Structures are given as structure tokens and as C-alpha cells.
Amino acid sequence: MGEAGHRETGLRREFLGSCALLLSGVVLGFITRTTGWTSGDLAAGAMVQSVRTAWLTSVAQALNASFRMVPGLLMTGILVGTLFVSGRRRAARLVLTVVTAGWIVSPVTKALVARPRPPAYLALVQKVDPGSFPSGHVCLTLSIVVAVVMACRHVWTGTGYLVVGCVVAGCVLVLAQMLARVYLGVHHPTDTLGSLLLSGGAIGLALSVRRPQP
């Protein structure tokens, strides 16, 4: 099999794997609507919320504010614009593809699954939309992290340690956001886990279907 054949096989596997992640995320969303699963989620969430302190609440609120819609659009616009004006147009298109795919899957799945939020008395954040599964904040955070890492690979070619550093920092940020959503009482733990499946699958699917050209 030639190079083209290997590439086609790799893209096919990426496509199928991404579809499997998306399907798993949607199925998980419907499973979480069951009474028994919700009870377990509430118990797990209560463990996280039991360690609430003033400084942890400040950190969680900062993560909440930083990854809302407007800041998310600003971060994406700055990243895409910076890459575009610096002549890295392929990287700019790649970033836009990643963030769009990984973020848009959240409202679509929220509407499909329609899982209620945790009880309002648990929430430290007001004025949230009714859909609980998945977490839009986690979807956006993961999408931006993946986009930044992929942009770094284009910009910092040959400097692997910097890219690894971005990956590690990004993983910490995503995990912190997952815990913050549960800590603030606006999501169940499974909502945040489902976000990883859905955004990861959507990003992989978008990249396998449409590869930006140089």
C-alpha cells in the first residue's frame, strides 16, 4: 500500500473513531436522564461541593466567566486573526475548524438530550440555560485547548518541549473546568465527562472530513 493508501486508511479510521465517540456521547446523555444515574451523579457532585471555600469559589467563578460565549468568541478571534495576519493561514483555518466543531456540538446535544440541571439550590451561578448535558464550558475549554496545541505545532516546529508544555497545561485547564462546573452546582459530573466524548468526536470528525489545504 502506497503513501496515499495509508493516508486514506488513517482518515477512515479517524472518521469511524470520531463517529463512535459522538455516538457514545449521545447515548451517555440519554442514559444520564434515568433516575438511578441522576441520584449517583448528585451524590458524586455533593462530594465535590462539600469542599467549597472562598478561594476555590473565586477560582471556579473565574473559570466560569472566562469561558462564556463572548470571551470564547474573543479568544477564538484573537487566535485566528493572529495566525492569519502572520501568514499562517492553514493554521488559522485549522483553529477555526476545531473550535467551531467542538463548541457547536454542545447546544445541539443539549437540545437533543434535554437533561435537567441539578437542583437550583445547589448552584452558585445564576441565569444558566436549562440544558445540563453536556457542559458548554467544558466543550469550549477543550476546543480552545486543542486548537492552541495544534496552532503551536505549526508555529513552534522543532520545539517539542513547548508543545508538550501546552498539552500538559491544557489538560490541567480542562480538568479544572470540569471540576469547577460540578463545584458551582450547575452540572452533574457525567455532563462534563460527556463533553469530552462529544467535543473530541466532533473535532476528530471535522478534521477527518475537511483537511485545511496549504
Tell me which residue of 146, 205, 211 sits closest to 19, measured CA to CA: 205
Give residue-wise pLDDT tens across range 3-54: 555 566 767 788 899 999 999 999 999 999 999 999 999 999 999 999 999 9
Decide: 137 and 67 in contact? Cβ < 8 Å.
Answer: yes
pLDDT at 127: 76
pLDDT at 122: 93
Preceding omega of 71 cis (within 30 degrees of 0):
no
pLDDT at 212: 44
Share the mean pLDDT of the chain: 91
| CA distance linking residue 200 with residue 90, whole number of Å | 21
Is the predicted pLDDT of residue 214 greater than 70, yes or no? Answer: no
Is the predicted pLDDT of residue 1 greater than 60, yes or no? Answer: no
pLDDT at 213: 46
Return the minimum-mean-pLDDT range out of 28-37, 82-91, 185-194, 202-211: 202-211
| CA distance linking residue 193 with residue 74, whole number of Å | 25
pLDDT at 4: 56
Give residue-wise pLDDT tens across range 146-155: 999 988 887 7
pLDDT at 158: 56
pLDDT at 209: 82
pLDDT at 14: 85
Length of the chain: 214
